[in-house]
Structure 1
Amino acid sequence: MYAILDIETTGGKYNEEGITEIAIYQFDGHKVTDQFISLVNPERDIQPFVVNLTGINSNMLRNAPKFYEVAKRIVEITENCILVAHNADFDYRILKTEFNRLGFPFKRKTLCTVELAQKLIPEMESYSLGKLARALGIAVSDRHRANGDALATIKLFKMLLNKDVGKSIIKDAVKIEKKSKLASNLKNIIEELPSDTGVYYIHNDDGDIIYIGKSNNIKKRVTQHFTNSNSKSKKIQALVSSVSYEKTGSELVALLKESEEIKSNKPILNRALKQNKFTQGLYCYKDSNGYINLRVNHLKKTEKPITTFANRQSGISFMNRVIEDYELCPKLCGLQKSKSSCFNYDIKHCYGACVSEESTEKYNKRVNTVININSYDNKDMVLIDRGRDIEEKSVILIEDGVFRGLGYFDLNHQINNRSILTSLITPMENNRDTQHIIQSYMRRNKRLKVIELNN
């Protein structure tokens, strides 16, 4: 659990500042679960430059509660939480100073979104909250007011959680939470999980991730792990201490994150996962008559396939569909063997490429359409899919035929700006696994929105 906060102060000498406004949002990594926002009477003068910056003046604070009147609420909403702030050292120092004046020790673990952003989004021009939010397309209202800045920090933190492929933020949180509210049994763990699409992480007592999985229904899948009697499920049941998760909205995002994060974290119970989940590839060549032939064959190390399939049956099913949809010749697609015409020609479903009656130009044009649709070689494009809520979409970026990564964007923001689009993206490795995942998903989901990018 996190307590995301922002504090406005009077300014002045070090450790003599007073709080003028505070906003705290309790955040479970997915949604806000509690909040506290209040002006605070600092019982001291506000520096003129601070009044100009925040708009908060002494008249506004005359009837506001003093710090001792809100201290109990601050303790309650931050208990067992990691404090998250932009420049956390400042906010944490101010809070501790105020509590010290009351003679109350205040101690919390902190996370700084400045430091996290510098690590996870390197090479930004500035890491001030305003400039960073603008560069990332994060809307900020009431800048330099506690509530506006706290809300912007929540959006930034959600983006940083998404970019943290190594899951170091989640691991630290699990270690802290287990001391105070470790789930007493498997049923308690399941009750806290959502029935949404996403990736789940099974942790042991030390907070280490021992298994990563993906599901369209996280609660249902984890329940299966906890109730099945196979070898893997028994190991999970023996070692599990807690389960964290990340909603993705999109199944494609879940598949890509699962693949990447298993490679990055190397959980002990994912070792049985084979590197290649696919064995077949689609290849093409021109025959002696100039017609483009298609073939589904075992993957070849020396040749790059147009697309890949989990097994031969999947590849053959694909070929049968494109033969019907694009009126291709089954003989030139390797599904029929004959010395003369194919069977489809005899029943008037083939235009005669197999006996050189159809021109190579007409036939090859249809074959190239199939190749172009099922390959993203040399293409610059984004794939738009479901987001985690109704106000956002997920985006997968492909540049020059290379998968660059994924992210989320607000529906109110345009993503045709390359610099903003790139900053939204969590960089991910481009490999044969990701190519297979993306191409397979594109074949299965015809409603997936594909936008080609202009240079």
Structure 2
Amino acid sequence: MYSILDIETTGGKYNEEGITEIAIYKFDGHEVVDQFISLINPEREIQPFVVNLTGINSNMLRNAPKFYEVAKRIVEITEGTILVAHNAQFDYRILRTEFRRLGFDFSKKSLCTVELAKDLIPNEDSYSLGKLTRSLGIPVSDRHRAAGDAQATVKLFKMLLAKDLEKNIIKESIRLEPKYQMEPKLLDIIDSLPSITGVYYMHNKNGDIIYIGKSKNIRKRVNQHFTSSNPKSKKMQLQVAAVTYEDTGSELVALLKESEEIKRNKPFFNSALKRSIFSHGLYSYTDENGYLNLKVSHVNRKGTPIITFSNMRSAKSFITKLVDEHNLCQKLSGLHYTSSNCFNYTIKQCQGACIDEEHYENYNKRVLSIVNYYKFNNQSMVIVDRGRAVDERSAVLIENGMFKGVGFYNLNYQINNLDVLQNIITPMEHNRDAQHIIQTYLRRKQHKLKIVNLNDQHETNS
């Protein structure tokens, strides 16, 4: 649990500043569960430059509560949480100073979103809250007011959690959380989980990740782990102290994050999932008559498949569908072995490529359109899918045929803004597993997905 805060002060000499406004959002890693926002009477003058910056003046604070009147509420809302702030050293110092004046030692673990952003989003021109949120496409209202800046920090922190593929922030939180040090009640863990699409992480009492999984219903899937009687599940049940999760909205994003994070974190109970998840691939070659042929064979290191499959049955089913949708030749697609025409030619669903009636250039155009769509040959595009909320979408970025990563964006921002797009994306490794996941998802959901082609924009910008 986190307390994300922002404090506005009077300015002045070091450790003599007073608080003029405070905003605290209690954040469980997914949503705000409590909040406290208040103006504070600092009982001292406000520096003129601060008045100009924040718009808060002494007249506004005359009837505001003094710090000692809200101190109990601040202690309550931050109890058992990690403090998070943009430039946390400043906000934490100011808060501790105010409590010290009351004779109370206020001590918390803190996280700084400036430092986290420098680590997880390197090479930014500026890490000030205003410039950083602008480059990341995070909407900000009431800049330099506590509530507005704290809300922006919540959105920034949520993005940083998603970019933290090694889950160091979450693991540290579990180590510090007292309730996770007690013997867990598995039913309580299940009750705390939502029935949403995402990735879930099982942790031991030290916060280490021992298993990563994905599901379209996280609560149901974890319940299956905890009620299963197979040897692996029983061992996991004995070791698990907490289950955290990441809402992805999109099944594609969940699949990609699961694959990436298993390879990165190497959880003990995921050993069986570290192997490649495909066995067969679709390949193309040109025959002696100039026609592009398609064939399915086992994946090997010698050739690069157009698309991969988990088994021969799914491969055959896919090619049969391609033949029907694009009027391809069964013979040239490896579905009908014959020395003459294919069966589809007999029923006028093949235009005669099998017996040289259709010119190879016309036939090859249809085959190439399929190859380019699934192989991403030098393509730059964004696959847009569901987000975590109604006003959000997920984005899977492919540049020059290479998978680059995933991210989320608010509908108020244009996805074709390349600068913002590259900043919100969490970088991931391009490998055969990721390519297989994307191609399989496109195959299943191609009519339900929005594809934004970036090639035209690159040409326009160049």
Amino acid at match of 1:198: G
Mean alpha-carbon deviation: is it higher for 240-249 or for 338-347?
338-347
Contact 1:183 1:189 in 2 (8 A): no
> What's 1:392 paired with?
392
> In structure 1, how many angstroms separate the alpha carbons of the residues matched to 2:79 and 2:264?
32
Query: Does residue 437 in structure 1 map to residue 437 in structure 2?
Result: yes
* SS at structure 2 position matched to 1:407: strand
Task: Give the Cα separation in 2 of the matches to 1:49 and 1:322.
Answer: 67
Give the aligned partner of residue 347 of structure 1: 347
Give 1:105 shift.
1.0
The answer for the alignment partner of 2:68 in structure 1 is: 68
Shift of 1:178: 3.6
2:440 counterpart letter in structure 1: S
Q: How many residues align?
A: 455
Q: Secondary structure at the match of 1:272?
A: helix
Alpha-carbon distance in 2 for matches of 1:16, 1:288: 86
How far apart are residue 342 of structure 1 and its match?
1.6
**Cross-structure match for 1:166:** 166
After the TM superposition, which of the residue ranges 163-172 and 368-377 deviates more from structure 2?
Answer: 368-377
Is 1:449 the counterpart of 2:443 in the alignment?
no
Q: Which residue of 1 aligns with 2:369?
A: 369
1:360 aligns to 2:357 (yes or no): no
Deviation at 1:392, TM superposition (A): 0.3
C-alpha displacement of 1:335: 1.5
Query: Mapping of 1:66-145 within 5 angstroms?
Result: 66-145=66-145
Structure 2: give runs of 5+ residues left out of the alignment: none
Say which SS state the counterpart of residue 361 (structure 1) adopts.
helix
Alpha-carbon shift at residue 344 of structure 1 (Å): 2.0
Alpha carbons 2:249, 2:387 under 8 Å: kept: yes
SS at match of 2:14: coil
What's the Cα RMSD here?
1.1
What's the counterpart of residue 329 of structure 1?
Answer: 329
Aligned pair in 2 of structure 1 residues 65, 239: CA closer, same or farther (>3 Å)?
A: same
**Are residues 1:156 and 2:156 paired?**
yes
Corresponding residue for 1:26?
A: 26
What's the counterpart of residue 231 of structure 1?
Answer: 231
SS at 1:341 equivalent: coil
Q: Would the aligned equivalents of 1:182 and 1:242 in 2 still touch at CA under 8 Å?
A: no
Q: Deviations over 1:37-66 (max 9, x none)?
A: 000011111111111111111111111000
CA deviation profile, 1:80-121 (whole Å, cap 9, x unmatched): 000000000110011111111111111110000000000000
Question: Letter of the aligned partner of 1:405 in structure 2?
Answer: G
TM-score (norm 2): 0.97
User: In 1, Cα distance between the equivalents of 2:179 and 2:347?
Assistant: 73
Contact 1:9–1:19 (Cα < 8 Å) also in 2: yes
Code of the residue aligned with 2:300 in structure 1: it is K
Q: Deviations over 1:365-402 (max 9, x none)?
A: 22112212222120010000000010100001111001
Distance, in Å, in 2 between the alignment partners of 1:294 and 1:141 is: 55
The one-letter amino acid of 1:163's match is K
Contact 1:23 1:37 in 2 (8 A): yes
- Bigger mean CA offset, 138-147 vs 114-123: 138-147
Show the 5 A alignment for 1:52-63.
Answer: 52-63=52-63
Q: Is the 8 A contact 2:180 2:205 kept in 1?
A: no
Contact 2:184/2:242 (8 A) holds in 1 = no
* Cα distance in 1 between the residues matched to 2:395 and 2:445: 15
Q: CA deviation at 1:343?
A: 2.0
Change (3 A) 1:449 1:183: farther
Post-superposition offset of 1:179: 4.5
- Paired with 2:182 and 2:157, the residues of 1 have a C-alpha distance of 24
Segments of structure 1 that go 5 or more residues without pairing to the other structure are: none
Q: Percent identity?
A: 65
Task: Tell which deviates more after alignment, 170-179 or 43-52.
Answer: 170-179
The residue that corresponds to 2:316 in the other structure is 316
State TM-score, norm by structure 1: 0.98
* In 1, Cα distance between equivalents of 2:116 and 2:68: 32
Q: Which runs of 4+ in 1 moved over 4 A?
A: 179-183
Contact 1:196 1:247 in 2 (8 A): yes
Q: Distance in 2 between matches of 1:111 and 1:183?
A: 27
Q: 8 Å contact 1:183–1:242 — kept in the other structure?
A: no
Question: In structure 1, how many angstroms separate the alpha carbons of the residues matched to 2:146 and 2:116?
Answer: 20
Task: State how far apart, in whole Å, the 1-side matches of 2:349 and 2:383 are.
Answer: 34
Deviation at 1:348, TM superposition (A): 2.7
Q: How much does 1:182 deviate? A: 4.8
Work out whether residues 199 and 248 of structure 1, in 8 Å CA contact, stay in contact via their aligned partners in 2: yes
2:292 corresponds to which residue? 292
Q: Against the structure 1 CA distance between its residues 235 and 181, is the aligned structure 2 distance closer, same or farther, given a 3 Å change threshold? A: closer
1:280/1:311 contact within 8 Å kept: yes
Q: Is the 8 A contact 2:181 2:205 kept in 1?
A: no
**CA-CA distance at 1:175 after TM superposition:** 1.1
Tell me by how many angstroms 1:334 deviates. 1.0
Q: Is contact 1:198–1:246 with CA below 8 Å preserved after alignment? A: yes
1:204 is aligned to: 204
Rounded to whole Å, the distance in 1 between the matches of 2:231 and 2:411 is 44
Three-state SS of the structure 1 residue aligned to 2:165 is coil
Written as runs of structure 1 = structure 2, the 5 A alignment for 1:171-210 is 171-179=171-179, 182=182, 184-210=184-210
1:246 and 2:243 matched: no
